[in-house]
């Protein structure tokens, strides 16, 4: 099931209750549904205008300042039966609204606007005022009062203070609480509707004791209709009725069922959350699962992640799991019923594609009876994350081995040197010293790679750029290559070019590329280092004529910890050299790449800006 902004817009515009959206410091009217425009007596031309310009007649009324306060503080504002004066067709019209201003925040939590949900209670307020006045006027007949109650377009009930007996009520009230007249009229109110007594009994007693009106907006009221307990939402007022002496003799209950409005708003908020997840985080799939019907509703992105299409079931999804992971979903679902959250990671198979890892997270929603009704959750492809974790684990193992070998050899050489400190063996001493120096150089190189990787990860490598002669730099680099391989090296091309870069870091890249060619192509008769002028950049290529690299490995060569040899031979190094080289070139604004044909050799290249 695809959810989009059109559905959301349709829900808002089709709502019978005023809903509008104010954005920005200028309080621009961004959205106003048909019910809002009707209440304002305006048309769509007000959209896009500042609030003060759209409704100039409200200038001396508190609404603009209230909107700004919500924008500034982030605190919602609610009002019950609030008065507003509009100018409609040149005439002043007084209306009453029960409304709330809710701050609207972006993904970073910054307040960008205010959403208003309102109910036009003009009829309710005017009727309540009329009824209260009528009840106070003794000259009005009881029959007229009863008729007024019966004809009221909202739920109404009169309760005697002395014994809390229901003395009068209308059909709307009976429909609201799910009772018949025979079950209510003439009975104590809390005996007739005991499900609401615990919450609303004390409130009614407070109204009687204080002689003050009590009003509530979207109050949750438990009712039993046809033997089934359910929760409805009501805007209601408890109005004390007094006699000529000022004593409270009755309580008038006036109410409007706003369950539909509340459910629409909540559905809208949930859709907004789901749409925001799907639109703003395109790599996250969302889904909804209902416990009672086993319905499983997913977004298109969710289906892409799990390798399915169309309308799918939970069983379809579980069949994609690795056999060892299929129990995870059921276990998570059972745990979620109590914990309220779902979290697990599973391996999924897709036909013709490699296995992938997917992380599932969800929140459980409960019904009025406390039982779980549905889950709303997300799916994220974490295959790359898992691969990186595995690479890091492999790296730790490799690093331990790579450091242990030269350290062990260095230790052995130093121990032997220590034993002959009293009497130096002129034959063995230089060999042991050379062994110690070689192993110290290996350890230093490994530590340098680790330090460079750490600096690159934290963006701490500083480039000391200057103009230098590229031919001289290449000749200096060759001196750092092991003596046995220097005869293979051949420099050619535009060696007189000047480049603007960090000479030490570029030398590091050259040495790494040449050493890799020596390491992975030991039988190559020669290694070519070619320099070409390509307009505003210089291109440097290191080419060997060894076994080459398999095509499927080329895209991974510059990844951190990756080592290219697949022949089964043991090769030294941490798998960081090409990653560090690539990062150095990127920080120079250049490019780096590789071309290779199996059985013919490899060409590693990079570009740098010319001076």
Q: Model confidence over 72-96: pLDDT tens digits?
A: 999 999 999 999 999 988 899 999 9
Phi, psi of 198 (to 5 degrees): -60, -40
Paired residues of 221 in beta bridges: 232
End-to-end, the C-alpha distance of the chain in Å comes to: 58
Alpha-carbon distance of 374 to 363, in angstroms, equals 9
Task: Give tens-digit pLDDT for 546-582.
Answer: 999 999 888 888 886 666 554 444 444 556 778 878 8
Contact 489, 514 (CB under 8 A): yes
Q: What are 186-215's pLDDT values in tens digits?
A: 999 999 889 888 889 999 999 999 999 999
Q: Residue 341: helix, strand or coil by DSSP?
A: strand
Domains defined for the chain, CATH in brackets: 18-119 (3.30.450.20), 124-257 (3.30.450.20), 281-381 (3.30.450.20), 386-457 (1.10.287.130), 466-609 (3.30.565.10)
Residues whose CB is less than 8 angstroms from the CB of residue 32 and which lie 6 or more positions away in sequence, other chains included: 18, 19, 20, 21, 40, 42, 44, 46, 47
Q: What is the pLDDT of residues 88-134, one digit of tens each?
A: 888 999 999 999 999 999 889 899 999 999 999 998 888 888 877 76
Q: Which range in 3-12, 226-235, 538-547 is most confidently predicted, on average pLDDT?
A: 538-547
CA atoms within 13 A on the CB side of 480: 17
Residue 485's pLDDT band, with cuts at 50, 70 and 90, is: low
DSSP 3-state of 571: coil
What gap in Å lies between CA 540 and CA 366, rounded to an integer?
A: 64
Whether residue 312 contacts residue 296, with contact meaning beta carbons closer than 8 Å, is answered with yes
The helix-helix angle for 259-280 and 5-14 (nearest 10°) equals 160
Identify each DSSP E strand in 270-340 by its residue range: 284-290, 296-298
Residue 2 banded pLDDT, cuts 50, 70, 90 = very low
The 8-class DSSP code of residue 461 comes to: P
236 vs 14 pLDDT, higher one: 236
Nearest to 450 by CA among 331, 575, 334, 599: 575
Q: Would the pLDDT of 45 be above 80?
A: yes
H-run or E-run covering 538: strand 537-544
Q: Which two tokens stand for residue 122?
A: 């003009």
Q: State how beta strands 527-534 and 489-493 pair.
A: parallel
Across 238-242, 284-288, 388-392, 399-403, least confident range: 399-403
Q: How far is CA 134 from CA 127, 150, 216, 231, in A?
A: 10, 14, 23, 33
Q: Report the distance separating Cα 439 and Cα 17, nearest Å.
A: 80
Give residue-wise pLDDT tens across range 413-466: 677 677 776 677 777 777 777 776 766 766 666 666 666 665 655 555 677 888
Token pair for residue 35?
Answer: 């019910």
CA distance 353 to 101: 50
CA atoms within 13 Å, Cβ hemisphere of 21 = 14
**445-461 burial, b if ≥16 CB within 10 A, otherwise e?**
bbeebeebbeebeeeeb
Res. 386: pLDDT tops 80: yes
The model's confidence at residue 543, banded by pLDDT at 50, 70 and 90, is very high
Cβ neighbors of 222 (< 8 A, separation 6 or more) are 195, 196, 199, 229, 230, 231, 368
Helix 503-520 vs helix 470-479: crossing angle, to nearest 10: 50
Q: What pLDDT was estimated at residue 487? A: 72
């Amino acid at each position: 099931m695809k959810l989009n902004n059109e559905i959301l817009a349709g829900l808002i515009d089709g709502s019978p209750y005023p809903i509008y959206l104010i954005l920005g410091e200028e309080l621009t009217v961004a959205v106003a549904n048909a019910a809002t425009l009707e209440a304002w007596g305006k048309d769509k031309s007000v959209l896009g205008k500042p609030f003060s310009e759209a409704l100039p007649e409200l200038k001396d009324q508190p609404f603009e300042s209230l909107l700004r306060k919500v924008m500034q503080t982030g605190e919602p504002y609610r009002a019950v039966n609030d008065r507003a004066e509009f100018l409609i067709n040149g005439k002043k019209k007084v209306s009453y609204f029960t409304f709330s201003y809710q701050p609207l925040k972006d993904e970073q939590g910054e307040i960008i606007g205010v959403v208003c949900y309102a109910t036009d209670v003009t009829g309710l307020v005017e009727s309540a005022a009329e009824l209260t006045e009528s009840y106070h006027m003794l000259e009005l007949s009881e029959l007229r009062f009863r008729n007024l109650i019966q004809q009221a377009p909202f739920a109404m009930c009169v309760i005697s203070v002395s014994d809390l007996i229901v003395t009068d009520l209308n059909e709307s009230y009976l429909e609201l609480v799910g009772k018949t007249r025979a079950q209510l009229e003439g009975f104590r109110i809390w005996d007739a509707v005991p499900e609401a007594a615990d919450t609303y009994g004390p409130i009614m007693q407070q109204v009687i004791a204080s002689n003050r009106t009590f009003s509530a907006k979207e109050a949750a009221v438990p009712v039993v209709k046809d033997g089934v307990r359910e929760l409805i939402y009501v805007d209601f007022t408890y109005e004390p009725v007094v006699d000529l002496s000022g004593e409270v003799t009755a309580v008038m209950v006036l109410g409007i069922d706003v369950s539909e409005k509340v459910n629409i708003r909540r559905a809208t908020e949930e859709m907004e959350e789901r749409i925001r997840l799907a639109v703003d985080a395109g790599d996250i799939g969302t889904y909804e699962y209902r416990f009672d019907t086993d319905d499983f509703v997913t977004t298109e992105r969710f289906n892409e992640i799990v390798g399915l299409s169309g309308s799918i079931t939970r069983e379809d999804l579980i069949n994609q799991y690795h056999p060892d992971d299929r129990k995870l979903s059921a276990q998570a679902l059972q745990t979620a019923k109590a914990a309220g959250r779902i979290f697990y990671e599973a391996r999924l198979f897709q036909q013709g594609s490699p296995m992938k890892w997917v992380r599932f997270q969800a929140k459980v929603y409960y019904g009025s009876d406390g039982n779980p009704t549905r889950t709303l959750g997300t799916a994220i492809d974490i295959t790359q994350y898992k691969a990186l974790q595995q690479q890091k684990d492999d790296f730790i193992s490799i690093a331990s081995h790579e450091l242990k070998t030269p350290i062990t050899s260095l230790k052995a050489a130093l121990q032997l040197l220590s034993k002959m400190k009293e009497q130096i063996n002129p034959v063995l001493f230089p060999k042991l010293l050379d062994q110690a120096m070689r192993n110290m150089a290996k350890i230093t190189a490994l530590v340098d790679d680790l330090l460079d990787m750490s600096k690159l990860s934290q963006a701490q490598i500083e480039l000391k750029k200057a103009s230098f002669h590229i031919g001289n730099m290449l000749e200096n680099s060759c001196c750092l290559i092991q003596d046995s391989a220097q005869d293979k090296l051949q420099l050619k091309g535009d060696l007189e070019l000047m480049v603007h870069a960090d000479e030490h870091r570029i030398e590091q890249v050259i040495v790494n590329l040449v050493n890799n060619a020596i390491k992975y192509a030991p039988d190559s008769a020669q290694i070519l280092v070619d320099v070409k002028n390509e307009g505003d950049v210089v291109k440097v290529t290191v080419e060997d004529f060894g076994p080459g690299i398999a095509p499927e490995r080329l895209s991974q060569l510059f990844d951190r910890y990756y080592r290219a040899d697949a022949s089964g031979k043991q090769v030294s190094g941490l798998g960081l050299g090409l990653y560090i080289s690539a990062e150095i070139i990127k920080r120079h604004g250049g490019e780096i790449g590789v071309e290779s044909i199996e059985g013919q050799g490899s060409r590693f290249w990079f570009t740098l800006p010319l001076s």
